Amino acid sequence: MIKSFIAAGKLLAACKYDYCGTYGVSSTKPIPLREVVKIFENVAGKKLSIVWGGRPYRTREVMVPWSSYKLLPGWQPKISLQDGIKKFLGV
């Protein structure tokens, strides 16, 4: 993720600090939240205490991921979600 900030900084500098556009960083392979939780549980080796649908949605809650962006030029993911979670947890 740090490399995405570096790539964005380089792009901004190349645009001479003018508005350069709106970009996002993504693996381009969306993963539903429930799947992210399963991956986390598998890597961590423990079950998370989650009650899906346990609370009503709030009025302004965002339920659809933002996807109308251009990918940040000069950046691509270097590690998988599983490996990133492993690094985060130190396992």
pLDDT tens track for 41-90: 999 999 999 999 898 988 888 888 888 888 888 788 888 999 999 999 99
pTM (2 d.p.): 0.71
User: What pLDDT score was predicted for residue 38?
Assistant: 97
Radius of gyration of the chain (CA): 17
Measured CA to CA, the distance from residue 12 to residue 39 in angstroms comes to: 35
Measured CA to CA, the distance from residue 91 to residue 46 in angstroms comes to: 13
